[in-house]
Amino acid sequence: MVGFLSAANTMKLVKKAVPALGIIFLLSGCNGTSGTTDNDIGRASEPAAPLQKVSRYVGTPSHEIPFVYTAKKQFALTFNGMADRETMTKLLDELDRYQIKATFFLPGMRVAEEPDIAKDILKRGHEIENNTLSQPDLNKLDYQGVYKEIKLTNDVIKRETGVQPKYIRTRSGSYPADLPLIAAQLGMKGVVSYNINPKDRDMQSAEELGHYIGRYISRGGIISLNTDINPEVIKTIPYISRYAKDIGYQPVTLDQMVSDGGFRKPVEEIPGYQPVHATSDYQNASYKLIEKVDTDRKEIALTFDDFGSDKTITQILDILEAHNVKATFFLRAKGVESNPNLARAMVEGGHDVANHTYEHTVLTKMTPAAIQEDIVKAHEVIANAIQEQPVMLFRPPTGAIDDERAKAIAAVGYPNIAMYDVTTLDWDASNSADDIVNGVMTQTQKGSIILLHMLDDIHTIEALPRVLENLEAKGYTFVKMQELIDQNP
């Protein structure tokens, strides 16, 4: 069984922790103030120091970190709470066995109770951060109550381990709007939540927990598990290690990932995010449907549509890198919004990214006004993800387009509508890798634009290396679609 802090030990910890700060606040209540009573104070510290008033911070708040913005193949495995010594030792031994460095968000009360466990976490190369004093609901505390909860925890951890916490996370991951201000006031880097939560509170098996993490593991992802709720968490470590190795991802501590990564600028500060806008005056707009490019050179453009999981897209990027091929990715922006790091990884790999709408609705089923709204939203989402202007090509979902809607798209700022002349319907899982390879090879010619997809559970990844090898053997060279257009006006 995993262990919990007993109620009998609570006031012992009050007596131990309060003198460190010279304040009477310690246990958090639910009425917006400190939860200690006069009797508690008397038992904890004689005589009690007066409660110190905390002024509201007016500077820049700390970063809010649900994930880390990075194209590196890194993720952070994080734990909330501190279980009993036996459980924590087993967990740490398992992390050692698979050479995983993790981040532990520890409650200050538990660190005060068993500092040797916290010291062992550090000794093994892991990171310790602030999980509040006793894991209360901070949304029920006022500004001063939250400040004291975080401040006291920082001081307890510092006193017992010598480490000053840089990040704060609540047990649930939710927090009041003032917490980033308070974190900044205390000199902390950020308020951390997570974007991968297997919900081990529901007592799933290790296999279920591991499968969930493997499905959603991502660049810059923050996995949240608990040390003191579900003992199956320990048995989940081998699954995490295996899934990470399958796609070449490295678990690192949270602070290392933040240091290696960065933070996104607001979209309005990104050069080039504004060249698109909706307009009702589109009837005379001119556009060009580009299915292939006339050229005497054996140059072709490889393009991918839609969006997929980290595992699928990373495999595509790795295959392209191995063949030194640059492609153009037409992104469904709703997918980009949930995983901007993947879009950034494409750009850092030397590829182009372009607009494939936000919702991926067939345009002939939409009004021109709705199309323009969708395209503008998609452009901003993609620009925000890659922190630069995407290449100004637009591809309609399913390739369905008519004259009126093409004019509406051009008027938005996308006069070049990117079509294709080579398609194998690879989005249909019933089409095998052989079908995809044969379809590409029989249709491709000079100036062709090849359409493939980056969806999960289809055969494109299996076919892609063969497609590249066979086309290269026939003397074709790959260029990005915009380059193909520019070189052959």
| Catalytic residue IDs | 305, 453
Query: Are the beta carbons of 306 and 349 closer than 8 angstroms?
Result: no
Which residues, at least 6 apart from 420, have a Cβ–Cβ distance to it below 8 Å?
291, 292, 303, 399, 449, 450, 451
46: helix, strand or coil = coil
What is the C-alpha to C-alpha distance for residues 469 and 441, in angstroms, rounded to an integer? 11
465: exposed, middle or buried (C-beta count within 10 Å: 0-12, 13-18, 19+)? middle
Q: Which residues, in sequence order, are bridge partners of residue 394?
A: 355, 417
What is the C-alpha to C-alpha distance for residues 101 and 125, in angstroms, rounded to an integer? 6
> If you ran DSSP here, which 8-state letter would residue 430 be given?
T
Structure tokens at 86: 């036996």
